[in-house]
Amino acid sequence: MTSSLPDFSPPVPAPPSSTEAALREELAAVREDAERLRMLLGTAAQVVWTTHARVNTSPVSPSWTAFTGQTPEAMRNRGWLQALHPDDRGGTWAAWERATATSMRFEARYRLRRADGVYVWMLARGVPVLAPNGDVLEWVGTCIDIHAQCLGEERAAFLARAGELFSSSLEASTTLASLANLSVSALADWCIVDLRQPGGHYQRVQVVAADPAQAALVSAVRELKPLPGERPVYPPAVALATGQSTVVPEVTDALMQAVAQDAHHLEMMRRVGMRSLITVPLLARGHILGALSFLITTSERRYGDDDLKFAQELANLAALAVDNARLLQDARDAVRLRDEFLSVASHELKTPLTPLSLKLQALSRAVRAHPDSPLVPVIESHVETGHRQVRRLTELMNDLLDVSRISAGTFSLQREAVDLAVVVREVCERFAPRFELEHCDFTVETPDTVPGSFDRTRLAQVLDHLLDNALKYGAGTPVSVRLTVDGAVARLRVRDGGIGIAPEQRPRLFERYGRAVSERHYGGLGLGLYLTRTIVEAEGGHVSLESRLGEGATFEVVLPLTRS
């Protein structure tokens, strides 16, 4: 018989059920994931954040704290909004409220203040983490740095706007004023424009500050002269003298002392309080036209190489606009001088024509006093040729004078009661001998009377030019003049059967110095049809042309017979 002692060892626990084991493993996994998330939030290169679904909870984001310098406590109760640019807070909060109200994706673009005070464009995105029953447990999201992209878009838009402004004006002063005002709205706190003048000296032509309260200081800065020395160190002087750009990320007082041209200049730079500076030259066709200077005085922003490249692009646009404006002004000056010369030359050339005409008249009278002389026919022929050439020269001089008057804005009409039919017949009678010499069949058809209010001399000049054209380009072919009345207008048609005019030549035919043929073969100044159009339009009418190459030309002048 045997006996056994009682077992005093501790009881062995029952093995856990499979359900409890699964829950423990899941809890461990969740803790591991949570720890991994905390490590991710702390080491992410971008800003990563998470926040509980409950209102007024503090977002969790070590990367946000590191980027902005905000403490977790400062982020509570919408405090994170204080790190956004003031202009972006309202829109961002409205987007967040919409997302949380609908449990939909959150997305917003805003400028986020970095710990050094500089605003950086961010694209914020967040998504809700949902429980099995659909409730929102928390929100997780990121803030991606899109500053380079946004800056590129802003600068592309800025350059496009600058191009529009530059092309809207052909005056250099207007162009530079637009540039300076545009720059202080997007690129700088101050913009200074220095230009090289035609005489070789330098002038400060634009100074604009973003703060209107600094008007007095702006005026004082404008009085400063950017005089380039033999070895300039002041950035605008360097740009004007050498065409080199300068970027100074941090302007110190020691630097201002080093580049100051004198004590007054140093005082003015200190008063402006510049913190960062870019100066770029205005270059066009290999010449230095001037310099642009951009200054930061109030913000924590500092210029860098990207800003310098952008400033150079802007300067290239501005230089092209300034150069074009100057070229246009040079052309205008050249045209003005030409017109002045033509006016003076016309007067001077007409002066000897008057005594020459008188001499020809005296010679004609002397010849008629000796009718039996065998030299009479020869002399009368020469005298008539002389009269004809004097009239031709007088007409050319009058045309040049008229062009000068049109350019100067002094061309005018002297209207009176005129019978248009009488004017047409008188001019045609004067031209009839010339058509006879050219063996042209010349016909004239007019009503008995066509009354109206016109400048008699100018209307005669219009027909003179049209008949001159018909003689020159339709020599030997039939030429007809027909005046008709069509309701409240008169129509004057001059038709020739000459060489005609090609379609591509017609648009320029009525322009100043416009011609459809070589001046070498047909001569003339190319002013007749230009003056014809000018006179007819001044009378309230219009002139048109019908022609085919090799089939002649028909010019029609339409004139109103009544004045409104």
Express each pLDDT in 335-345 by its tens digit. 777 777 666 66
**Residue 12 pLDDT class (50, 70, 90 cuts):** low
Q: Which helix (H) or strand (E) holds 218?
A: helix 215-222
pLDDT at 216 over 50: yes
Task: Spell out a b/e string for 512-537, using b for 16 or more CB atoms within 10 Å of the CB, else e.
Answer: bebbbbeeeeeeeebbbbbbbbbbbe
Q: How many whole angstroms separate alpha carbon 510 and alpha carbon 534?
A: 9
CB 476 within 8 A of CB 440: yes
What integer pLDDT is reported at residue 353 of this predicted model? 72
Tell me the percentage of the chain whose pLDDT exceeds 70: 83
Backbone φ and ψ of 174, nearest 5°: -65, -40
pLDDT confidence bin for 511, thresholds 50/70/90? confident
Closest CA to 545 of 515, 503, 487: 503
Answer whether residue 2 shows pLDDT above 70. no
Q: Which residues of 451-488 are buried (b: 16+ CB within 10 A; e: fewer)?
A: ebebbbebbbbbbbbbbbbbbbbbbebbbbbbbebeee
- Give the pLDDT score at 157: 79
Segment 66-78 shows an average pLDDT of: 89
Give 284-342 pLDDT, tens digit per residue.
988 899 999 999 998 778 898 888 998 898 888 888 888 888 888 888 787 777 777 66
Whether 261 and 283 have beta carbons less than 8 Å apart is answered as: no
Chain position carrying tokens 């038709």: 495
Q: Taking all residues of the chain, what is their mean pLDDT, rounded to a whole number?
A: 82
Which of 352, 348, 329 is CA-nearest to residue 340? 348
3-state secondary structure of 404: helix
CB 508 within 8 A of CB 448: no
Residue type, 159: L
CB 251 within 8 A of CB 301: no
